[in-house]
Amino acid sequence: MTTTRAMEMTTMWTVVETPIDDLRVVARDGMIAAIEFSPFRESPSGAPIGERDDDDPLLREAVAQLSAYFARDLKEFDLPLAPRGSEFQQRVWEQLRLIGYGETASYGEIARRLGKSNAASRAVGLANGRNPIPIVIPCHRVIGANGTLTGFAGGLPRKQTLLELEQDALF
């Protein structure tokens, strides 16, 4: 007789100082699950998000890569990612990862890449706004059709700083 046991998820986190304020990097079961902008919120359920572990190898690697990105020494992240979301959100987030460093795309362009019409731009925007791993999954690279900065979970000043950092690093 085989007993089935639900695996307990191990969640841990650390904080990295950046030019856009502190970021909390959350790992779950050996994968990066979230990057949060300060001020940090507690989980919606009020349950702890896990223990702080500044020495965990994965979190240390994430901090090193984020630090290298902000120092303009890293253009592509290489981290195991596990963003939670619907199938459509996952497809949008995969498209975000295809937007190159220093490049931008509009919500409509992302919709078209997914085989949808421009009418899906709003749904793309909602999925973009729910991206749990900003910067690494570069939702800051999505802009309005007319080139304007639109919505960003971390706030428009942070979005502008991220885009300027990438532009400056190209020249």
Which residue is associated with the tokens 């990057």?
35
What token pair was written down for 17? 């100082």
Which residue is associated with the tokens 């223990």?
51
Say which of 20, 34, 133, 139 is annotated catalytic: 139
Q: Which of 29, 26, 32 is nearest to 8 (CA)?
A: 29
Told to judge if 85 belongs to the known catalytic residues of this protein, a careful annotator would answer no
Residue 166 phi/psi, 5° resolution? -70, -40
Contact 160, 143 (CB under 8 A): no
What token pair was written down for 38? 């300060």
Residue 129, SS3? helix
Report the C-alpha dihedral over residues 86, 18, 74, 55, rounded to 10 degrees.
Answer: -80
Number of Cα atoms under 13 Å in the Cβ half of residue 53: 18
Which residues are part of the catalytic machinery? 139
